[in-house]
Structure 1
Amino acid sequence: MSNLYGDFNQKIDYVFKVVLIGDSAVGKTQLLARFARNEFSVDSKATIGVEFQTKTLVIDQKIVKAQIWDTAGQERYRAVTSAYYRGAVGAMLVYDMTKRQSFDHMARWLEELRDHADKNIVIMLIGNKCDLGSLRAVPTEDAQEFAQRENLFFMETSALEATNVETTFLTILTEIYRIISKKTLTANGEDSSGNSGLLKGTTIIVHGQEQNSGCGKGGCCLSS
């Protein structure tokens, strides 16, 4: 993936909608700000309703526009669900690794996601705030076990220190691209293997970012 953020005067080949979900105050908005604008706001206000940011990048010499949607985690905004999930090809389930309750709620968020979203959506579990290692309330092993059981990607991040943030977004977007491009080949009759472009459990190995000492190892927990 050379020239990830280059000159985008050419046409956009793909637009991928990815949704961020999880409890309030787990850092969804900060993760998005770090990825889209490389910013972090210490006095970030709670998200009201729905917002989204876009970022254009190159994957496999194709120009991909990522449209990342961010929503309030508070219960009173849950009515936005069906419209929020419509058309999403990826989802990021975010919890705060210093708040056990936010991790315990992941099963409920995942159930809601699967009720509303396309069944082939690519899902990544994200343990945010790993810079606060001394306050960890969710062992990495617990999250890895949950991710493996539910066929999710998993990674720990720090929006504050920018640890694994870009890697996380690129991992999910690359996996979406892999699936969508394979579907396109199938639709065009160019794939003679009979593959439908659904998840096959391919492991993505990501390199290039140092992990903070408070962050456990991320990785792909998809199985076929």
Structure 2
Amino acid sequence: MLNILLLGNKTVGKTSLACRYINEEYSGKCKTTIGVDLFRKDLILNHNLVSVQIWDTSRHDGFKGTGEVFYREAHCCILVFDVTCRKSFESLNFWRNEFFVMANKQNPYEFPVTVVGTKIDLENDRKVSKQEAQDWCKSFSIPYFECSSKDDINVQQVFEAMTAKLVDTYKL
């Protein structure tokens, strides 16, 4: 079982991203996650059955201690921000740092992390350019994807790329 942890500010679209990938649907009426929501999908990669578990997190004061278990058990981390919300982009440093501290990962440049900019269907409301996000990611050698859960743009690619990276990293 490969564990993928989703981190980012609330309302950036973590739950919509997971639901679109797992259930291949978008409701637009996702409730705010309290604690962790778990999603699972089995897929075939390199002629092998691979089970992926996606942990959709929410950081609440009462959840903090429990969250550390999910951070430590994650095989990779997807940092999520909303391209229409500059504050969510500016929080990426916080989420990246918090993950590596709480997960007790020793080599942040070797651990599989990616960044996803969501809500690209709202292009007219964009506050963070693709170039700016790519530049931030490049400074940490992190892959960058942009997607829309609503319009089903690049959602599959995000999870397929991370799963393939994990299969390669963990020699599955």
Q: Smaller-chain TM-score range?
A: over 0.9
Aligned to 1:67: 53
Using a 3 Å threshold, how does the CA distance of structure 1 residues 24 and 75 change in structure 2: closer, same or farther? farther
> How far did 1:90 drift?
1.0
Aligned to 2:19: 33
How many Å separate the matches in 2 of 1:89 and 1:60? 19
What's the C-alpha RMSD, in Å, of the aligned pairs? 1.4
> How far did 1:51 drift?
1.2
| Deviation beyond 4 Å, 4+ runs, structure 1 | 73-76
How many Å separate the matches in 2 of 1:171 and 1:22? 19
The question of 1:87 aligning with 2:73 is answered yes
How many Å separate the matches in 1 of 2:114 and 2:96? 10
For residue 136 of structure 1, the aligned residue among 126, 150, 162 is 126
> How far did 1:80 drift?
3.2
How many Å separate the matches in 2 of 1:146 and 1:16? 26
> How far did 1:142 drift?
0.9
Aligned to 1:21: 7
Code of the residue aligned with 1:31 in structure 2: it is L
> How far did 1:125 drift?
0.3
How many Å separate the matches in 1 of 2:14 and 2:60? 12
- Given the two structures, how large is their TM-score scaled by the length of structure 2? 0.92
Higher relative contact order (CA 8 A, sep 6+): 2
Aligned to 1:104: 90
Q: Deviations over 1:182-203 (max 9, x none)?
A: xx7xxxxxxxxxxxxxxxxxxx
Aligned to 2:102: 116
Question: In the TM superposition, what are the counterparts of 1:1-224 in structure 2 within 5 Å?
Answer: 15-74=1-60, 77-117=63-103, 118=105, 119=107, 120-181=110-171
Identity within the alignment, %: 29
How many Å separate the matches in 1 of 2:125 and 2:59? 22
Moved more, 104-113 or 75-84: 75-84
Q: Deviations over 1:128-184 (max 9, x none)?
A: 000000000001111101111012111001010110000010001101111111xx7
Which entry has the higher C-alpha Rg, 1 or 2? Answer: 1
Gaps in structure 2 of 5+ consecutive residues: none
How many Å separate the matches in 2 of 1:75 and 1:104? 21
For residue 86 of structure 1, give the secondary structure of its aligned residue in structure 2: helix
Name the structure with the higher helix share: 2
How many Å separate the matches in 2 of 1:74 and 1:27? 17
> How far did 1:121 drift?
2.8
